[in-house]
Amino acid sequence: MLIVQKFGGTSVGDLERIQNVASRVSETKKAGNDVVVVVSAMSGETNKLVAYAEHFSSNPARAEMDMLLSSGERVTASLLAIALNEMGHEAISMTGRKAGIVTDSLHTKARIEEINPTAMNEALKEGKIIVVAGFQGVSTNGNVTTLGRGGSDLSAVAIAGAIKADLCEIYTDVSGIFTTDPRIEPKARKLTQISYDEMLELASLGAKVLQNRSVELAKKLNVNLVTRTSFSNEEGTLITKEENIMEKPLVSGIALDKGQARISLMGVADRPGIASEIFNKLAKSGVNIDMIVQNKAHNGETNIDFTIPSGDLNDAKLVVHSFVKDGDIKDESYNETICKVSVVGVGMKSHTGVAAKAFSAMAKENININMISTSEIKVSMVIDEKYGELAVRSLHDAYELEK
């Protein structure tokens, strides 16, 4: 097999851990696989470099930040190659440029435009282990770029896609994706597999494990992703396309999102175009809208409720105020003590009664549901924040996810 193994900051956090990573890579190679390793900087290293720059300037040139930050990953890549050589392997490290990762020129948050895997393919043909410095590329005009914080996951997935790897393993300090957050529900179970779409909907469960952007890219490039821990041999969770999942569970997981706020617009003028005006203006201000509920109009007026990430609240208020001033909205109210619980599963597509079961679980606990939204593979409910964890546990029970 051709395997990409990506090791995050904690997995390469000190020299002893880098040695452990070398042993794992060595075993993978000895088992007859071809291996491309992608590494992060040692944990804390990137933050330290950012702080160094801030010592001199509160607004350092972004191109210089990329020169600086890309060095953290190079340290780990070369050290790992040295360790592998010492173990008798032919290993070479590569910068993003050498690995052929071409990006646009948006320094500190560049997007990968293409990967030219010629150098990697040649080294693989010679039987070498390649260690790529993650998080970085080269712009079309030859400058070093970085892909945004946490970007080495993205490097790994993009490389796996470009060299058509059979598997892309993402190693962190977490052993995989769970049916829900084990700190909320100790009976949470590790999933053996999950589809890309479910993973994207369960973002809050995967947040500490891998970047959403990387899951999107894996879906696009059809890369089989595995998240697992570098601290034991425990099997992880496979994230793959739905067709590859043999036994489709009705529900795969329950996610809780506490960082939500609800905005209620009262007495909204009931005329064509008003929703478009309001939501276009919100979009222009960078406000991310999630659920929207509009009530039946009454006396030429209607009410519209919607949810947004709490961090966007101030921007949203400014927009709403402008409509209130113009008289198109009579009154506004805001609620930050809400949360969103979501039940996610591909099995919902072919089963009925999934939403009803969620509502029953809420009723049993006497939890009031404020808003509901559904998609093919998800049922989300907005409830009072203080019942969020109780809701997660009762849903986990209702769908028997511990089994």
Report residue 389 as tokens: 């964890």
Distance CA 241, CA 380 (A): 23
Minimum CB–partner distance for residue 72 and ligand ASP (Å): 6
* 206 interacts with ligand ASP by CB under 6 A: no
* 149 interacts with ligand ASP by CB under 6 A: yes
Minimum CB–partner distance for residue 7 and ligand ASP (Å): 10
* 236 interacts with ligand ASP by CB under 6 A: no
Nearest by Cα to 219 from 196, 239, 198: 196
Report residue 82 as tokens: 């040295």
Strand order in the sheet with 144-146: 112-115, 101-103, 136-139, 144-146
Distance CA 316, CA 311 (A): 10
Site string for ligand ASP, 150-169 (x = CB under 6 A): xxx-----------------
Distance CA 287, CA 280 (A): 10
Q: Of the candidates 13, 117, 134, 150, which one interacts with Mg ion according to CB under 5 A? A: 150
Minimum CB–partner distance for residue 160 and ligand ASP (Å): 15
Q: Of the candidates 5, 11, 26, 46, which one interacts with ligand ASP according to CB under 6 A? A: 46
Do the Cβ atoms of 302 and 265 come closer than 8 Å?
no
* 13 interacts with ligand ASP by CB under 6 A: no
* 227 interacts with ligand ASP by CB under 6 A: no
Q: What is the DSSP letter of 328?
A: S
Q: What H or E segment, with its residue span, contains residue 277?
A: helix 274-284
Q: Which is nearer to ligand ASP, 40 or 95 (CB)?
A: 40
Radius of gyration in angstroms for the set of CA atoms belonging to the chain, rounded to a whole number:
24
Distance CA 168, CA 239 (A): 10
Minimum CB–partner distance for residue 227 and ligand ASP (Å): 14
Q: Of the candidates 13, 72, 117, 267, which one interacts with ligand ASP according to CB under 6 A? A: 72
Site string for ligand ASP, 102-141 (x = CB under 6 A): --------------------------------xx------
**Which residue stretch of 102-110, 144-152, 335-343, 363-371 sits at the interface with ligand ASP (rule: CB under 6 A)?**
144-152
Distance CA 6, CA 160 (A): 10
Chosen from ligand ASP, Mg ion, none, partner binding at 267 (C-beta under 5 to 8 Å by type): none
Distance CA 354, CA 348 (A): 7
Strands 329-344 and 378-384 turn out to be antiparallel
Minimum CB–partner distance for residue 73 and ligand ASP (Å): 6
Q: Of the candidates 5, 10, 26, 40, which one interacts with ligand ASP according to CB under 6 A? A: 40
Q: Which residues bind ligand ASP (CB under 6 A)?
A: 9, 40-41, 46, 72, 134-135, 149-152
